[in-house]
Structure 1
Amino acid sequence: MTVVAEILKSKPDTTVHTVRPEDSVLDALRLMAEKGIGALLVTQDADRIVGIFTERDYARKIALLGRTSAATQVRDVMTPDVLYVRLHQTSEQCMQLMSTNRLRHLPVVENDKLVGMISIGDLVKDIISEQKFIIEQLEQYINGGR
């Protein structure tokens, strides 16, 4: 069973991109497009997490409500209650948390410090890899270890 620490180690880039609450949504969208990511943590005062801004927040709270990205601050549309996981938690625990709460991104916090972010894609990749390994082991067993 894989834990979050192993998933983070397997990622090519563990940089967590952030914005401030007073940044414009347009600036946040530009950063997301530049980095090819779907979510930014919103931080304040020495990296204290105060929210998360996602593509879903944009779609539902800007576009559908007729707001403009340039005139709206991230604090006005971010999701303030951020769920997170710790390094020792398993991929299954993370999938359960994401499924139950309909999330696509989870910050990873250890000792009150932000250490990474995992996405649903990271978890799916890990679970597929784990299942592939198990299948290969079973095939070897069935074929007599050849």
Structure 2
Amino acid sequence: MRQVKHLLENKGSQVYAIAPDAPVLDAIKHMAEERVGALLVMRGDVLIGIVSERDYARKVILQGRSSAQTAVSEIMSSPVLTVSPDTDVFDCMRLCTDSRIRHLPVVHHETVVGVISIGDLVKEVIGEQAEQIEQLQRYIAS
């Protein structure tokens, strides 16, 4: 099974982040502009949380809070579950499923080197299964 570092080689290591004191409205705008479902919350180079569309819906909208008046730090999820570049894709899927999360920051030596989503993981598993099926079909046909 492939590892997270292989996913990042194909996907890229772009990280979208926001400061903890930024208004939630800025976070939502940034997510929309970048077409992502979550942002890392960073204080400088230090990962301190993650904020997602789910956090926004549950902790701002449903509670009648103001997006412009609420700081990201008030709704972010923390501590953040992370994985290393050497983590197996299936282990990441298990972590996402068991923890009911959709985004995993990838950290190497305390430095964020990328983010993978459950969609990235599913795509990888489907691709690997299709490859295995093709190999089995060639084996059977020969």
TM-score (norm 2): 0.98
Residue correspondence of structure 1 range 28-67 to structure 2 within 5 A: 28-44=27-43, 46-67=44-65
From 85, 106, 109, the equivalent of 1:87 is 85
Partner of 1:141: 139
SS at match of 1:139: helix
SS at match of 2:41: strand
Q: CA deviation at 1:4?
A: 0.3
Q: CA deviation at 1:14?
A: 2.2
Q: CA deviation at 1:40?
A: 0.3
Q: Could you tell me how far apart the structure 1 residues matched to 2:131 and 2:78 are?
A: 39
Q: Which aligned segments of 4 or more residues in structure 1 are displaced greater than 4 angstroms?
A: none
Superposition RMSD in Å: 0.6
TM-score (norm 1): 0.96
**For residues 25-71 of structure 1, what are the alpha-carbon distances to aligned partners after superposition, in whole Å with 9 as ceiling and x for unaligned?**
00000000000000000000x31011100001000000000001011
From 96, 102, 107, the equivalent of 1:109 is 107
- Gap regions ≥5 residues in structure 1: none
Residue correspondence of structure 1 range 122-141 to structure 2 within 5 A: 122-141=120-139
Number of equivalent positions: 142
- Gap regions ≥5 residues in structure 2: none
Partner of 2:8: 8
